[in-house]
Structure 1
Amino acid sequence: MPEAARRVLSRLKEIWRVAQKFYITTAISYPNGAPHIGHAYEAIASDAIARFERLDGKDVLFLTGTDEHGLKMVQTAAQEGVTPRALADRNSARFREMAATLDISYDDFIRTTEPRHYEACAELWRRMAAAGDIFKKKYGGWYSVRDEVFYREAETDIREDGKRYSTTTGTPVEWTEEETFFFRLSAYQQKLLDHYEANPEFVLPPERRNEVVSFVKMGLEDLSISRSTLDWGIPVPGTPEHVMYVWIDALNNYITATGLLNGGGSRAHHWPADVHVIGKDIVRFHAIYWPAFLMSAGLPLPHRVFSHGFVLVKGEKMSKSVGNVIDPFALASHYGVDQTRHFFLREVVFGHDGNYAPDMIATRINADLANGLGNLAQRSLSMITRGFGGLVPQPGTFTDADTALLAKADALYGLCRTAMDRQAIKTWLDAVWDVIGEGDRYFASEKPFDKALSLERKGTILYVAAEVVRQLAILVQPAMPASASKLLDLLAQPASARSFAALGNAGRLAPGTQLPEPQGVFPRYVDPSVEAGKAAPTAEQQKQQKLEKQQKKNASREKGQVEGRDKNSGDKAGRGQT
C-alpha cells in the first residue's frame, strides 16, 4: 500500500475510533463522611447511561472517584484525631464499597491524592499561566468551608443568630483574607455566553442552563484559585507555599483520567467528556469555571453538563439533625440491588428532584417488576415448558395482533436511543414499560391458556410473547444488570446476543431452542414487619383466629345441609313435571 494511502487509512481509523468513544463522569465525592443515597443515586444513574452506551457499541470510559483535598477534610480529620490522608483512605474505600454493592461498572476510580493527578493539575496550571490568566493579589471575601467557595456579599445575608450565611446553599460563611493567585475569569464572560448560545444543550436540563446564563450575564469577577493558609492540597508550580484551590484540583480529575495532560496514552482520545453528571448544587463550577479554565488552557470543552436534582425523603431534604439520611448499603440489602436501581431510575425524572419513601419503592417493585416484567416472562416461559417441553415453539402465520406487538417491541430501541441521547432515563424506561403493558394485554386477549386453541396457535402466541420478553430483557440491562442477565439466561441467549445489535429481526428467538427450567426473577416485596406479625400472632389473636375458623366451618356445614335439602326438593319437583 502506498504511503499516502496508508496515512489516509490511519486517519480514517482514528476518526472512527474517536466517533465511537463515549466518556461519562460522575462528580467525585467528598469523603469527609460516609456515602448517602444522594451519592448512590448519581452513581446509579451514571452507571445506567454508561451501560446503555456500551450495549450500543460505544467505547465507553466511565469515571468516578473521591475529591480528597480541602479545608473540610482537614477539619473533619482533626475532629476524629486522624490525619487527612488516613481519613481519605478510610472513606474513599467506603465509596468503592458502595459502588461494588450497587453494581456500578466504572472503568476508573480516581483519587485526587494520586501522583498522576498532581502531575495533571500542575500541567493545567502552567497552561493557564502561560495564557496570562493567572496573577497574584491580596483577597478578602465571604468563604464557606462546607461549599469550598467564596461568595459575593450580595449572595449572603445575616440571620437572627447574627451570623452570615450563603443565600444559595444556606451554609455559614466567614470573612477570610489572604494573598492568593487569581484566575482572570472576567475575561471569559462573553466567550462563555457565546458558547452557551452556540451549544444550547451544553447544560441540561434547560432550567439549569437558564440559571447559568443569567449568572454569567450579571458579570463575572476574577476567581481566587489558591490558598496560602492550607497545606493539604496540590502545590502551585513554582510557589509551593500555595496549594491549588480545591475546585481547580477537583475539576481537573476528569482530564487526569484520560492521561491527556500526562503525556497521552490509550485513553487520551476520550477527551472531551461526552457528559459530566453532577448535582444541581455544583452547576456553577462545572458550567462556568470549568469551561473557562479549559478555554484558557487551550483544551476542548465537554459536550454536556447534566445536572440532576436532589433525593428527598418524604418530601424533605435529607438531614442528620432530622434523622432521615438514607444509607444506600441498608437500602440495597433490604430491597435488593436491582430493585433499588430500578426504583430511582424509573421513579425520578432525571434532572429534577425526586422523592423516596418505603411505600413508594415497595409499590414499584410489585407493580413494575413482580406483576409487570416478571409476570409476563414467568407466564410465557412456564407455558412453553409445560406445553412444548421447554423448546421455543415454531410460530405459525402471524395475526395482526402478533405483528402489532412485535412491531412495538422492534420500535423500542429507536425510542430508547432518542431518550438517552438527552439522558432522559425515565423516558427510556417508561417506553419499555409501555410495551410490557402491551404484552400483558396481548396475553389476556389471545388466551394461550385456552384449551380450544390449536397447538400451532398456542405456540405462535407464546413465541411472540417470549420474543418480546427477550427484547425487553436486553433493553433493561443498563438499569437492572443482574436481573436482566437472569432473564436472558432463561431465554438461552449467549453473551454474543445481548447487545443492542441483537434487537429486532437481527436476533429473533430460534424455534427449537431448548430453554432451561423457568424461575421467578422478581419476587414480590412483602414488608418483613407484616410477615413477622403473621408468623407470630399474639395469644389473643390466636384465640380469635381459632374462633373465626370454627365459625366458618360451622357456616359451611350449615350451608351444605341447606343446599342438600334444596337439591332434593328440586329433584322431586323436576321429576313431578316429566
Structure 2
Amino acid sequence: MAGSEADSRFYITTPIYYVNDVPHIGHAYTTVAADVVARYQRLRGRDVYFLTGTDEHGLKVERSAQRQGIAPQELADQVVGRYRELWERLEISHDDFIRTTEDRHAAGVRKLWGLLEQSGAIYKGVYEGWYNVSDEAYVPDSQVVDGCDAESGQPLERVQEESYFFRLSEYGDALVEHIRAHPEFIQPDNFRNEILSFLDQGLKDLSISRTTFTWGVSVPDDPDHVIYVWIDALTNYISALGYGSENEDLYQRFWPADLHLIGKDILRFHAVYWPALLMAAGLPLPRQIFAHGWWTKEGQKMSKSKGNVLDPFGLTDYYGTDQVRYFLLREVPFGQDGDFSDAAMVRRANEELANDLGNLLNRTLSMQRKYLGEEVGLPAVETDEDADLKAHLDGLPAAFEEHMDQLRFHRALEAVFEVVRRGNLYVDETAPWVLNKEGNRERLATVLANLLETVRIVDLHLWPVMPEACNRMFMQMGYSLEGVELDRDAQWGARPATLTITKPKPVFQKVQEPET
C-alpha cells in the first residue's frame, strides 16, 4: 500500500441499476466484482467507500408505471427492494446505496447543472431526432434502420422539442488527449480503442433536457424541462458523497473515484459524456473506467422469450452464494464475454472448491485432532518439501496483488489454487499417517502446522471472493480476522504462536447439475 493519505483511500462504484427491470445475472456480476475489489482493498488496509444504487427516473419508468396503473415512485420502490434483497444474498458489502429519487441526489444534479451553465457549456435550442426509449439514449440518423436502433434493435421514436444542449462537440480533443495521456483511464485496451475510434468521428452537441415527461429532476429555474436521465444518473457518483449538500466532506475525501465498474453496453456514457461533463464543470475525472463483457448461457444470448435468463436468486439457492461468486470471477477473464453452463459451474464447485480446497482443510484438521490434539504450533522448514511449500506461499501475495490490481480475477484465483494443489501434493509427499504410525511426533507436528499455515494463507487471499465460506474455514482453524491486513498477515508464520482448532465440518458441499 502506498504511503500517502490519498493513496490510503479507495472509492469504487457500480453503475446504478435501472428500476424498469428485475435484477439479473449482469447486475450480480458487476456488483460481485466490485464487492471483491472493495473487500480486497480493505484487506490491504485502505479506507474504502463502495457505492451502488438505482436509477429511477426517465421516460421508460414513467411509461411502465402508467401501464401498471401505479405511480413511478411506487414502481421504483418495488424494484429497489429486490436489489437490496439480492445484495444481501450475495454478501455485498457496499457502504452506500444511492437512489436517484432522493433529495440528496437532486441537490447534486442541480449543483452540477449550475456549474455547467456558469461555464457556458449549456445553451437552449430545439432537438429533432431519434430517441431510444429502452436505452434512454439519443440515436444518430446513421444508426437508424427501418425505425430501429441498428446497434440494439430497439424501436425508436422521432422527437422534436425545445431542449437544452451540452456543448459536447467542444470536448473531443480534450478527451482524446486525456485518454492517450492516461492509458489506464479506460480498460481493457479494446474498449479504450473503441472510444478513441468513436471520438475520431467527431462529437455533436448533446440534448440534455426533455419537456414531454415529468419523471425526473427539473432544470433549475425552468421547471418545464426535465434533466436528461443520463446526466441525472451519472451524477450519482458525486451526489452520494454529499456533493451539492451542506456537508461535502465525503466528496472532498473520496472524489475522484478510483474505479467505475460498468458493463460494456454503457461504456460511451461513462467514457465520453461523464468525463466531458466533469471537464466542463471544472471537476476532477475518475481515475479508471473498467468495462466488462456479457454472459451467454450454453452459447446462446439470454432473453425472456427463450426462457434462458439466469436468475441470480435461483443460482444462489441451488449452488450456494460463495460458489456462484467464485464461479463468476474464476471462469472468465474480466472484461471479456463469458458463457455460463451448469456443467462448468459444477466442475468449479466440485473439483476446485470441494475436492481441492475443502479436502485440504478437512484432512489437515482431522489428522491434527486425531494424531496430536487441538493445539497447533508454528510452521517450520526442515526438508526440501517444506522449503518448496513455503516458496509457493511466499510467492503468492505478490502474484495475487499484481493480478487483483489489474482486475485479472481469474489469474489471481489461479495463483491461489496453484498453492492449494501444492498443499495437497505436500500431504502425499510427507504422509502424516506414516509419521504417526512411526511415532515421529515432532516431524508430524511440523507437517501439520505447515499444512494449516497453507490453508490459513490461502484462506486470507480467498476471503474477498468467498467471505462467508472463508469465515467458516477461519473459525475451524481457530483464527480470527479481526484487524488482519493482507500485506502483513499473509506471510509465513504471521499468526499467533498457537492455534486451537475445532472439529472440521465440510464448507463446500458437492453439487449436481439440475435436472432439465
Question: TM-score when scaled to structure 2?
Answer: 0.96
What per-residue deviation string (whole Å, max 9, x for no partner) do you get for residues 198-219 of structure 1?
A: 1001011111111000000110
Paired residue for 1:494? 480
Partner amino acid, structure 1, of 2:353? L
SS in 2 for 1:520: coil
Aligned pair in 2 of structure 1 residues 298, 357: CA closer, same or farther (>3 Å)? same
Aligned pair in 2 of structure 1 residues 27, 512: CA closer, same or farther (>3 Å)? closer
Indicate conservation of the 8 Å contact 2:30/2:262, yes or no.
yes
SS in 1 for 2:398: helix
Count of aligned pairs between the two proteins: 511
- Cα distance in 2, alignment partners of residues 238 and 141 from structure 1: 26
How many angstroms does 1:347 deviate by? 0.8
Match of 1:19 among 4, 7, 14: 7
Asked if 1:524 corresponds to 2:513, the answer is: no
Q: Which moved more, 1:285-294 or 1:147-156?
A: 147-156
Asked if 1:124 corresponds to 2:112, the answer is: yes
- Mapping of residues 150-299 of structure 1, within 5 Å: 150-158=138-146, 164-268=147-251, 269-299=253-283
What per-residue deviation string (whole Å, max 9, x for no partner) do you get for residues 57-90 of structure 1?
A: 1110000000000111011111211111100011
How many angstroms does 1:374 deviate by? 0.6
Question: TM-score when scaled to structure 1?
Answer: 0.86
Aligned pair in 2 of structure 1 residues 422, 263: CA closer, same or farther (>3 Å)? farther
Partner amino acid, structure 1, of 2:47? D
How many angstroms does 1:403 deviate by? 1.6
Match of 1:474 among 451, 460, 468: 460
Match of 1:96 among 84, 89, 104: 84
- Cα distance in 2, alignment partners of residues 394 and 287 from structure 1: 51
SS in 2 for 1:29: strand
Indicate conservation of the 8 Å contact 2:394/2:492, yes or no.
no
What per-residue deviation string (whole Å, max 9, x for no partner) do you get for residues 408-451 of structure 1?
A: 11221111111122211112111111111111222222222223
Indicate conservation of the 8 Å contact 2:385/2:429, yes or no.
no
- Cα distance in 2, alignment partners of residues 425 and 505 from structure 1: 21
Partner amino acid, structure 1, of 2:310? I
SS in 1 for 2:314: helix
Asked if 1:50 corresponds to 2:38, the answer is: yes
- Cα distance in 1, alignment partners of residues 381 and 332 from structure 2: 42
Q: Which moved more, 1:124-133 or 1:171-180?
A: 171-180
Paired residue for 1:39? 27
Structure 2, unmatched stretches of 5+, are none
What per-residue deviation string (whole Å, max 9, x for no partner) do you get for residues 2-47 of structure 1?
A: xxxxxxxxxxxxx943221100000000011211111111111111
SS in 2 for 1:191: helix
Structure 1, unmatched stretches of 5+, are 1-14, 159-163, 531-578
Paired residue for 1:308? 292
How many angstroms does 1:497 deviate by? 5.5
What per-residue deviation string (whole Å, max 9, x for no partner) do you get for residues 294-339 of structure 1?
A: 0001100000000011111111221011111111111111111111
Larger radius of gyration between Structure 1 and Structure 2: 1
SS in 1 for 2:272: helix
Asked if 1:149 corresponds to 2:115, the answer is: no
- Cα distance in 2, alignment partners of residues 291 and 39 from structure 1: 23
Asked if 1:456 corresponds to 2:442, the answer is: yes
How many angstroms does 1:506 deviate by? 7.0
Asked if 1:362 corresponds to 2:350, the answer is: no
- Cα distance in 2, alignment partners of residues 322 and 483 from structure 1: 34
Report 1 or 2 for greater relative contact order, CA contacts < 8 Å, sequence distance ≥ 6.
Answer: 2
What per-residue deviation string (whole Å, max 9, x for no partner) do you get for residues 467-509 of structure 1?
A: 0100011110110000001111111112336431443447534
Indicate conservation of the 8 Å contact 1:384/1:393, yes or no.
no
Aligned pair in 2 of structure 1 residues 372, 187: CA closer, same or farther (>3 Å)? same
- Cα distance in 2, alignment partners of residues 238 and 528 from structure 1: 58
Paired residue for 1:137? 125
- Cα distance in 1, alignment partners of residues 490 and 514 from structure 2: 41
Partner amino acid, structure 2, of 1:187? E
How many angstroms does 1:453 deviate by? 7.0
- Cα distance in 2, alignment partners of residues 309 and 528 from structure 1: 26
- Cα distance in 2, alignment partners of residues 404 and 204 from structure 1: 36
What per-residue deviation string (whole Å, max 9, x for no partner) do you get for residues 170-205 of structure 1?
A: 212121111100000010010000000110010111
Asked if 1:108 corresponds to 2:92, the answer is: no
Indicate conservation of the 8 Å contact 1:273/1:303, yes or no.
yes
Asked if 1:322 corresponds to 2:306, the answer is: yes
How many angstroms does 1:167 deviate by? 1.9
SS in 1 for 2:51: strand
Provide the identity percentage.
44
- Cα distance in 2, alignment partners of residues 457 and 395 from structure 1: 11
Aligned pair in 2 of structure 1 residues 322, 265: CA closer, same or farther (>3 Å)? same
Paired residue for 2:499? 513
- Cα distance in 1, alignment partners of residues 155 and 74 from structure 2: 27
- Cα distance in 2, alignment partners of residues 68 and 219 from structure 1: 31
